[in-house]
Amino acid sequence: MTYRPDIEGLRALAILLVVAAHAKVPGFEAGFIGVDVFFVISGFLITGLLVAEHRTSGRINFARFYARRFRRLLPALLLMLAVTAVAAWLLLPLTSQPYQASAGAAASAWLSNLYFAFERIDYFGAAADSNIYLHTWSLGVEEQFYLLWPLLIVLLLRTGKGGIGERWVLLGMAAILALSFLACVWLTFLSTRYAFYLMPARAWQFAAGAIAYLNVQRISEIIRARGPAWVGDAIGVAGIGLLVVAMLLIDSRTAYPGFWAMLPTLATVLLLLAACGGQSLTTRALSIVPMQALGKLSYAWYLWHWPVLVLGALLISTQTLEGRLMLALLSLGLAVLSYLLVERPLRRNAALVHVPKQFILASLLLMAAAVLAFTRWGAATQQEITPLDLKHKAGGQPFRIEVPRIYPLGCDDWYHSDRLAPCVFGPPSAPRTAVVMGDSIGLQWFPAFEQIFSGPDWRLVVLTKSSCPMVDRPIFNHRIGREFTECASWRNEALKYIAKLSPEIVILGSSHTYDFSQSDWVKGTDAILQWIAPSASRLFIVRSTPLLSFDAVTCVGSQLQLHGAVNEQACREPDKDERNQQVASWLLKGMEHWKNVELLDMNDLVCADGWCRAMQDDDLIYRDVQHLNAGFVGSLASQMAKRLGLDGPSGADVNDPAKATINVSPVTPRP
């Protein structure tokens, strides 16, 4: 194929979008669409290489094709995996190393997209943010495409007889585009995770690139024969315009890929076709020297940028844009070294693939060795983990990561159903009833509630559904790729249940991170209170806890790993969660018409002196980026009781399983 400098520049544009998104540069939240750009480019180039080879020789040499792909991609990947594995071993706590090792083993075999899809890792969630190999999912998709595409093209070429083989390829690509796109949209509705990670749901983007290549000559002839000189400029500007629209409309809350992926896909196709009429404005812009240089480094930079951002956050502050950009530039420096020392020399070494089958075998053996090394690392670290998740010896007492026991008891059914199944604690005949209702942020306070309402006079009713806000408004859940209708149905039934129960105390709580407007928070809160405030003696809304910019357990564990003790100054940040402040003020406005409703704010105890800490005085405060550790919550029971206007915990044995009645039928309402 003829070298296209504008395609190298398009690669540069794609990697800039991806790195900017992962470095959290303002305005680039949708930069992950750069991966879609890479997919379309791959479909264009690989289809072009295979069809051109068939035109020249009448056949496709599979062994040579696969050997060249291995030579191009594998050495740099294995280098990144080896270096980052050593860094993770040095920096990360033992508790997170088996997880990293499993992902590394999958990445070594170009299967990490399957690993992340079926391990239920949300690309935009907190768990994803801590995995140093998350970005390799796209390499898995690409390699699975490389594996199948030559076979498919040969099949289509042989189907067509008498010189019409390429027409069959075009028809085949059109069929793949249509079927794969429909599968993508369907999977996005069912589960965005599968649509995002699995190659069949992305095949239509490769097919779009293939169709662009198969039509590029015909379009060029038409434009040069009949079209005005500005057609190429118009096509290129339209492509850039679609990319800009995609950046403005898509974010982490979008059901992606689905229909939205059409924007970057069509944009890339237009940018690839912009050169059909000769040198256009966009092709000249993409062909400038800096873009060419970045394009050559795009693969290496993609490999290094994510692990450097994740691991670098353990060493320097990434709360500021400057810190994140510093790490992005460091990853670019590593990419330059990787490209100059490994990628380019091996790519130019024709002797390596002189006997393609031998090189393929050697590559497979290297991959197997990497998989084995990662597997052994994971097994070794798993054996070293003690029953306690973390140990801290500064105060002489170990501590552990703890979640409220309502979850192992099965009190939360999340999105799987809208069934109302209350968990009831305490004697059925207790004269006083307290109800706590909310998502996982509201019910993180259960260890304190359990102590406060543990006496013989109290019956405690727990109603919880994760990711379901205490705001009477529809909520779109990007993890399941659709409106969370189960939440609305469950919430309505729960509110009816509380209204009939007429409890003495009701405590509501949910996260402040839901994507509601001010009007939604105010009116949605008031709508909730209209259901239950008239029937409850006293009602409290617990303010959400501040969101950390780092994972608390990873930070604490890394301190232990590196220094044998925790420097509390290293795992803290100022309480500057502006969204939290806004939502608290909107909640107050939503409850202002109800005299028996109060805001329960515990954040001055969570973030003492205006600092949010991962741990303090040998106690783990947070267990991730927002949820509090259950042990710490239990220590605040007395202070919470005072703020509720109660005497305090009764001192009963709150851990006695006999005191819990799980998933019972509704408690008999008051007469």
Neighbours of 29 (CB within 10 A): 17
Tens digits of per-residue pLDDT, 306-320? 999 999 988 887 778
CA separation for the pair 9, 16 (Å, rounded): 11
Tens digits of per-residue pLDDT, 159-188? 766 557 788 999 999 999 999 999 999 998
Closest to 491 (Cα-Cα) out of 544, 545, 419, 590: 419
Residue 640, token pair as written in the block = 């919470």
Residue type (1 letter), 62: F
Q: Do 232 and 278 meet the contact criterion of CB atoms below 8 Å apart?
A: yes
Task: Tell me the backbone φ, ψ of residue 656, rounded to 5 degrees.
Answer: -75, 110
Grouping H, G, I as helix, E, B as strand and the rest as coil, residue 507 is strand
CA separation for the pair 272, 10 (Å, rounded): 9
pLDDT, average across residues 119-127: 56
Task: Tell me the backbone φ, ψ of residue 438, rounded to 5 degrees.
Answer: 165, -175
CA separation for the pair 168, 327 (Å, rounded): 48
The CA–CA distances, whole Å, from 41 to 12, 55, 236, 270, 340 equal 12, 21, 15, 11, 23
Element (H, E) at 148: helix 137-159
**Distance of alpha carbon 441 from its chain centroid, rounded?**
19
Residues in Cβ contact with 377 at an 8 Å cutoff, skipping those fewer than 6 apart: 85, 89, 97, 101, 104
Closest to 366 (Cα-Cα) out of 73, 139, 103: 73
Buried (b) or exposed (e) across 351-366, using 16+ Cβ within 10 A? ebbeebeebbeebeee
Grouping H, G, I as helix, E, B as strand and the rest as coil, residue 477 is strand
Residue 50, token pair as written in the block = 């295979």
When mean pLDDT is compared across 26-30, 217-221, 524-528, the lowest value belongs to 217-221
Residue 267, token pair as written in the block = 């944009």
Grouping H, G, I as helix, E, B as strand and the rest as coil, residue 411 is coil
Q: Check residue 343 and report its DSSP letter.
A: I
Q: What is the pLDDT of residue 399?
A: 55
Neighbours of 534 (CB within 10 A): 12
Neighbours of 537 (CB within 10 A): 12
How many percent of the chain have pLDDT more than 70? 91
Tens digits of per-residue pLDDT, 517-541? 999 999 999 999 999 999 999 999 9
Q: Do 236 and 272 meet the contact criterion of CB atoms below 8 Å apart?
A: no
Is the bond preceding residue 257 a cis peptide, omega within 30 degrees?
yes
Q: What is the pLDDT of residue 120?
A: 58
Query: Which one is predicted more confidently, 654 or 287?
Result: 287
Tens digits of per-residue pLDDT, 405-425? 888 888 887 676 788 889 999
pLDDT, average across residues 30-54: 95
Q: Say if strands 505-509 and 432-438 run parallel, antiparallel, or are unpaired.
A: parallel
Residue 549 has pLDDT above 90, yes or no: no
CA angle (122, 125, 128) in 5-degree steps: 70
Task: Tell me the backbone φ, ψ of residue 616, rounded to 5 degrees.
Answer: -155, 135
CA separation for the pair 7, 4 (Å, rounded): 6
Grouping H, G, I as helix, E, B as strand and the rest as coil, residue 650 is coil
Q: Do 64 and 13 meet the contact criterion of CB atoms below 8 Å apart?
A: no
Long-range pairs, 557-564, Cβ under 8 A, ≥24 = 557/92, 557/93, 557/94, 557/95, 557/96, 557/390, 558/91, 558/92, 558/93, 558/314, 560/93, 560/390, 560/391, 560/392, 561/90, 561/91, 561/92, 561/93, 561/94, 562/90, 562/91, 564/393
Unique residue bearing structure tokens 């690993």: 115
Grouping H, G, I as helix, E, B as strand and the rest as coil, residue 246 is helix
Q: Do 257 and 188 meet the contact criterion of CB atoms below 8 Å apart?
A: yes
CA separation for the pair 85, 101 (Å, rounded): 8
Residues in Cβ contact with 547 at an 8 Å cutoff, skipping those fewer than 6 apart: 512, 513, 577, 579, 580, 625, 626
Residue 24, token pair as written in the block = 């959290």
The confidence band for 478, taking pLDDT boundaries of 50, 70 and 90, is low
pLDDT, average across residues 105-119: 92
Residue 403 burial (C-beta neighbours within 10 Å; 0-12, 13-18, 19+): middle
Q: Is 585 left (phi over 0), alpha (psi -120 to 50) or beta?
A: alpha
Strand partners, 506: 435, 539
Q: What one-character-per-residue DSSP string does 367-433 give?
A: HHHHHHHHHHHHHHHHHH--SSSB---TTS--B-----TTTTTT---GGG------EEES-TT-SEE
Task: Tell me the backbone φ, ψ of residue 253, rounded to 5 degrees.
Answer: -95, 0
Q: At how many degrees (to 10) do helices 518-532 and 485-501 cross?
A: 40
**What is the model's pTM?**
0.76
The confidence band for 590, taking pLDDT boundaries of 50, 70 and 90, is very high
Task: Tell me the H-state helices in 58-202.
Answer: 62-91, 97-108, 112-118, 126-129, 137-159, 165-190, 192-197
Mean pLDDT over each residue of the chain, to the nearest integer:
87
Q: What is the pLDDT of residue 186?
A: 92
pLDDT, average across residues 64-79: 95
Q: Check residue 59 and report its DSSP letter.
A: S
> What is the dihedral sign for C-alpha 464, 467, 472, 477?
negative
CA separation for the pair 624, 547 (Å, rounded): 9
Q: What is the pLDDT of residue 391?
A: 47
Unique residue bearing structure tokens 């100022």: 574
Q: How far apart are the first and last CA of the chain?
A: 83
Query: Which one is predicted more confidently, 329 or 382?
Result: 329
Neighbours of 650 (CB within 10 A): 16
CA separation for the pair 298, 138 (Å, rounded): 14
Strands (E) in 212-332, as ranges, are: none
Element (H, E) at 437: strand 432-438
Q: Do 527 and 566 meet the contact criterion of CB atoms below 8 Å apart?
A: no
Residue 578 has pLDDT above 80, yes or no: yes
Grouping H, G, I as helix, E, B as strand and the rest as coil, residue 316 is coil
How many percent of the chain have pLDDT more than 90? 61
Q: Do 652 and 400 meet the contact criterion of CB atoms below 8 Å apart?
A: no
Residue 192 has pLDDT above 90, yes or no: no
Q: What is the pLDDT of residue 566?
A: 72
Q: What is the pLDDT of residue 651?
A: 44
